[in-house]
Amino acid sequence: YGFDLLTDSDVFNNAGASDEDIEKSKIIKYSAVTEAVEESRLIVKIATEQGGNLQPITLGQRESFEAYLSEIKDAGVRITVINYLPDILRIQMKIYRDPLVLDENGTSIRTGKKPVEDAINHYFKNLPFNGELVLAHLVDELQKVEGVKIPHIVQAESKWIDVSVGDYGNFQPVEVKTIPISGYFKIENFNNLSYVV
């Protein structure tokens, strides 16, 4: 971002720039390219990172990115860029707990931390960009948490940006697995976790 391409190439002309300037110009931190199922088109999902959180690039950055794609793509290749806010994930869970280890709020009696929430955050942090959320794998991760006897997902739903309205659509159920439309998820909150004995 901020550097032009060398003539007739996909290489940036950043001669004379400092390593710091070059590093700052790398605005796309995550990307995934897939083929559209119903038509001849490439889908390019992108995100940047700010303060450890994934987010879309700015409008100005997107204009530059699309100009870059237009310059380097093969003639006739149609591309759609997905640069959305994260898909919002809502998970309702019943956590059967060991009352000697976790209290009724899911707090570790010994450490004062919330190990179930930490494990959920860890699972999503390690999910590859545009990676498939598999609910069974999330349960597997939660079964490793000290004090968790049975992690039971009651309901999982996600919603994403609906381009036709320019905002999030309605929540849709996640039955077994799903790939985020934006390429990444954000947990709505942890209000729907209940801890039972």
Tens digit of each residue's pLDDT (9 = 90 or more) over 78-127: 999 999 999 999 999 999 999 999 999 999 999 999 999 999 999 999 99
Res. 173: pLDDT tops 90: yes
> What does pLDDT average to over the chain?
95
Measured distance CA(150)–CA(7) in Å, rounded:
60
Task: State mean pLDDT over 128-152.
Answer: 97
Dist CA 11 CA 142 (whole Å): 45
Residue 20 half-sphere exposure toward CB, CA atoms < 13 A = 0
Instruction: Say what the pTM is.
Output: 0.87
Calculate mean pLDDT across residues 179-193: 96
Q: If pLDDT is split at 50, 70 and 90, which confidence band does 75 have? A: confident
Pairing outcome for strands 172-173 and 87-97: unpaired
Which has the minimum average pLDDT: 43-47, 95-99, 150-154, 163-167?
163-167
- Compute the distance between CA of residue 40 and CA of residue 70 in angstroms, rounded to an integer: 16
**pLDDT class of 52 with cuts at 50, 70, 90:** confident
Write down the pLDDT at residue 74.
Answer: 86
pLDDT for 107 equals 97
